[in-house]
Structure 1
Amino acid sequence: MKQQDVPVLQYPWPYEIGPFSQSFYEEQNNWIDTDYQFMSEATRTKYKKHGLVEAASYMFPAASTKDQIRPIARFMVWLTLLDDYYELCPVDRFADIRDHIMDIMMGEQPKADDIGLVKQVALSRQEFIPYVNDDWLARWTKNFYNYTTYGLMEETPYKLKKEFPSLSNLLLIREYSISMYPYGDPVEPSINYIVPGYISEHPIIKRLKMLMCRIIAIQNDFASIEKEMGIDTEILNIILVIRNQHKVSLEEAIAEAMHIHDSYVQEFVELQNNLPDFGLQQKNVVRFIHNMALMISGLGTWYHKGNSTRYKIPGEFPKPEYGITVH
């Protein structure tokens, strides 16, 4: 199946593009060449064309200065490259890597022999500091733990065995592995509003975040289906899982995946339009949820209108390099 034959998912929200979508390419290339040298030069060259720093402005259009969007753009590159690099890393080895990164996210300094990936997340933390508080940093770190533990580390055994999960299992795993719990957290500094803990923990807010993660996971699966059909370990795609589980055609699997996606979008809209009364926080919470929705529509737009080669050009998606000696 060719990517252009896959339907484009639709949203009831507009999309906005922040003013800095083209502002970070030189910085991005410097980050990649300085701190990602543990990856091959060919892989680094591919990443420079993926437009990941551009995606940050599509997803966080409210950020009003370069300093405000910089840690978000840096974190976007970081999360994506971490995900790709450690994709097939055995779970027991990755647990120690995860724990060390969490220490850095909470303020420890990188070790002298740490790879540049660790230095980059330390820089993101440092750049977030003027816009966040300790509660946000703790939540960000916890969401990274959940992303790696219940997402990446749950995916790995299926990939190594080349075995499909059930649809129910997939939806739970992808909710976390899409990395949108930690990457959704920067919505708050981007709008200059850190959500109080009692609101962040409200069941409706948690449900909205879950829906955002699942919607974006399916969005990603649609955008990457051609690429993933050509890689035998890329089996955690909702379209392929539905096709395998229900023994249906690819077209029928796409239709069912769209139905699941659209039902999530409908629920998001219903909750967004019927928020509880948060008193003096109400206007800010409404603004926060609106910007969560803009993340979804913005990323969907970036997949199709952005300058990335990541999903559009066959062969431009790097292979996992963990465990490979790079010269």
Structure 2
Amino acid sequence: MTPEEYNSKDYLPRGYYPWPDLINPHAEQMGKDMDGWIDNDYTFLTEKQRETYKKMKLHMCTARMWPDLTYEQTIPCNRFMLQYVALDDQVENSSLEEIQQLRIRCVDILKGDQPKSDENALYQHMALIRDEFRAFMPDLWVERFIYYFYQSFRYGIELEYPYKIAQHPPSLTLFKTIREYSVLMRPYLILGEIESGLVLPEHIFEHVVVQKMISHMTLVVAWQNDIHSLPKEMAKGTEVFNLVFVLQQEYNLSLKDACDRAFCIHNEEMEKLLALHAEYREFGEYQEHVDKFVHYAGVGLQGVNSFYLETERYRHGGVGFAWPEAETKM
């Protein structure tokens, strides 16, 4: 199989997962909102980058992952979708110190600091996200969101850095550990608690079974992302943090064999999630809460898969990606 022959829908077609495939009824307005933010606020990006982000239609990822949100609830979720994606994309060529400072500043703002007037939209919107979430979510949930943002950044983006600089992936075992965080999905998954209206109490959220299910969910999305983003990453030529590339290195596999094995790993992760949820039913009065948490996370898994099949973000040749540019004023 040549790179040009690869098509991710051969592995993960629409409707692949056992949850409904839905779209938020406010999707059109969400698109207008996001385009406005890109045009009016994300001015640190070049004009070419802004046009590329608009073509990605990232609002449809929000609309597909959380179809039951009210319009008011979509605003910070949609704002965070753009903020986190742009942040991750545009630090690609930053130094580790710059990445760490960005993480520290974003977490400080989430915890209450106000952005300075000369700080760009990544910081200004982080403050808006914080205030909008606090308007309708309890402090317990907001603190959970902040911690998961920190965790994904600290143990994902930052731990990837030395391998990306060396352009050499870690072993498969270490890669799986880091990839669970570098896919940046943990803070997104708990947005399902907004939809359900059932925020898991801390003793249930921290339960080892719930945490293990979150781990499985996150890795399912990681392997899903690696399958769908492969055409863009093959075009870059220097990307190493993709399951397919790691499998090729570890086992000296062809592209086709590595893709097939990556798909098997994805399916095994999915089976573990479903089996664990089906077997452990010991949450008593909170069982309904846990079931709804898994359901809404599952709708999110289905939704992001459908988004991958629609967006221009991962097109062959990397032509749909907003690559970092020297002119970008981070």
Q: Does 1:72 align with 2:74?
A: no
* 8 A Cα contact 2:96 2:161, kept in partner: yes
* 8 A Cα contact 2:145 2:187, kept in partner: yes
* 8 A Cα contact 2:11 2:263, kept in partner: no
Q: Does 1:5 align with 2:11?
A: no
Match of 1:211 among 216, 228, 236: 216
- Match of residue 312 from structure 1: 315
Deviations 1:157-215 (A, max 9, x none): 11122112211121111110111111112111122221111111001110111111111
Distance 1:3 1:318 in 2: 23
- Once the 2 structures are TM-superposed, how far is the Cα of residue 303 of structure 1 from its aligned partner? 1.3
The residue matched to 2:238 in structure 1 has which SS?
coil
Q: Does 1:44 align with 2:50?
A: yes
Match of 1:57 among 52, 55, 63: 63
Match of 2:184 among 174, 179, 189: 179
- Once the 2 structures are TM-superposed, how far is the Cα of residue 57 of structure 1 from its aligned partner? 1.4
Choose 221-230 or 86-95, whichever is displaced more: 86-95
User: Closer, same or farther in 2 for the Cα pair 1:159/1:25, shift >3 Å?
Assistant: same
* 8 A Cα contact 1:3 1:226, kept in partner: no
1:154-173 correspondence runs (5 A):
154-173=159-178
Q: State TM-score, norm by structure 1.
A: 0.94
- Once the 2 structures are TM-superposed, how far is the Cα of residue 132 of structure 1 from its aligned partner? 1.3
Q: Does 1:81 align with 2:83?
A: no
Match of 1:116 among 121, 135, 144: 121
Distance 1:203 1:51 in 2: 36
What amino acid does structure 2 have at the position aligned with 1:174? Answer: R
What amino acid does structure 1 have at the position aligned with 2:323? Answer: K
What amino acid does structure 2 have at the position aligned with 1:93? Answer: E
Match of 2:285 among 274, 277, 280: 280
Distance 1:325 1:228 in 2: 21
Distance 1:269 1:91 in 2: 37
Distance 1:57 1:4 in 2: 27
- Once the 2 structures are TM-superposed, how far is the Cα of residue 248 of structure 1 from its aligned partner? 1.0
* 8 A Cα contact 2:248 2:258, kept in partner: yes
User: Closer, same or farther in 2 for the Cα pair 1:60/1:233, shift >3 Å?
Assistant: same
- Once the 2 structures are TM-superposed, how far is the Cα of residue 98 of structure 1 from its aligned partner? 0.7
Choose 277-286 or 149-158, whichever is displaced more: 277-286
Q: Give the gaps of 5 or more residues in structure 1.
A: none
* 8 A Cα contact 1:98 1:148, kept in partner: yes
What amino acid does structure 2 have at the position aligned with 1:221? Answer: D
What amino acid does structure 2 have at the position aligned with 1:22? Answer: E
Q: CA RMSD in A?
A: 1.6
Distance 2:195 2:5 in 1: 32
Distance 1:265 1:295 in 2: 14
Distance 2:130 2:21 in 1: 27
Aligned length: 322
- Match of residue 235 from structure 2: 230
- Once the 2 structures are TM-superposed, how far is the Cα of residue 284 of structure 1 from its aligned partner? 2.1
* 8 A Cα contact 1:87 1:152, kept in partner: no
Match of 1:18 among 24, 37, 40: 24
What amino acid does structure 2 have at the position aligned with 1:40? Answer: T
Percent of aligned pairs with the same amino acid = 33
Distance 2:232 2:113 in 1: 38
User: Closer, same or farther in 2 for the Cα pair 1:325/1:267, shift >3 Å?
Assistant: closer
* 8 A Cα contact 1:54 1:73, kept in partner: no
* 8 A Cα contact 1:3 1:223, kept in partner: no
Deviations 1:245-303 (A, max 9, x none): 21111111011111111111001111221233222222122111111111111111221
Choose 89-98 or 276-285, whichever is displaced more: 276-285
Distance 1:200 1:31 in 2: 33
What amino acid does structure 2 have at the position aligned with 1:39? Answer: L
* 8 A Cα contact 2:195 2:296, kept in partner: no
